[in-house]
């Protein structure tokens, strides 16, 4: 099981995670982004989302 954590306060709403990983990231009403699922059987594109985040607020725990 892979866990996805995001520091939502730190998110600047750049949209990079949504661009590289639309399967698990969506834009929120506050103009930021959030993961759809925080526990997944496979990391999938969440690693790319974490790597793409300019403020490094996404953590992937394997
Ligand atoms: S890449 Fe990071 S800063 Fe940009 S929207 Fe996603 S979580 Fe927020």
Domain that holds residue 41: 2-61
Residue 5 dihedral angles phi and psi, to the nearest 5°: -120, 145
pLDDT digits (tens, 9 = 90+) for 8-57: 999 999 999 999 999 999 999 999 999 999 999 999 999 999 999 999 99
Pick the closest to residue 26 from 42, 9, 13, 39 (CA basis).
Answer: 13
Instruction: Give the per-residue SS3 of 7-61.
Output: CCCCCCCCCHHHHHCCCCEEECCCCCEEECCCEECCCCCHHHHHHHCCCCCEEEE
Regarding the beta carbon of 10 and ligand 1, being less than 6 Å apart is answered no
Total domain count, the chain: 1
What pLDDT score was predicted for residue 29? Answer: 97
| CATH code at position 22 | 3.30.70.20
For tokens 């103009």, the residue is 31
Of all atoms in ligand 1, which is nearest to the CA of residue 53? 1
Q: Is the CB of 12 under 6 A from ligand 1?
A: yes
Q: How far is the CA of 27 from the centre of ligand 1 (A)?
A: 9
Does the beta carbon of 24 sit less than 6 angstroms from any atom of ligand 1?
A: no
């Amino acid at each position: 099981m892979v866990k996805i954590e995001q520091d939502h306060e730190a998110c600047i709403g750049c949209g990079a995670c949504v661009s590289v990983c639309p399967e698990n990231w969506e834009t929120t009403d506050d103009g930021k982004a959030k993961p759809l699922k925080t526990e997944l059987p496979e990391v999938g594109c969440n690693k790319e989302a974490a790597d793409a985040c300019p403020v490094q607020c996404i953590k992937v725990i394997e």
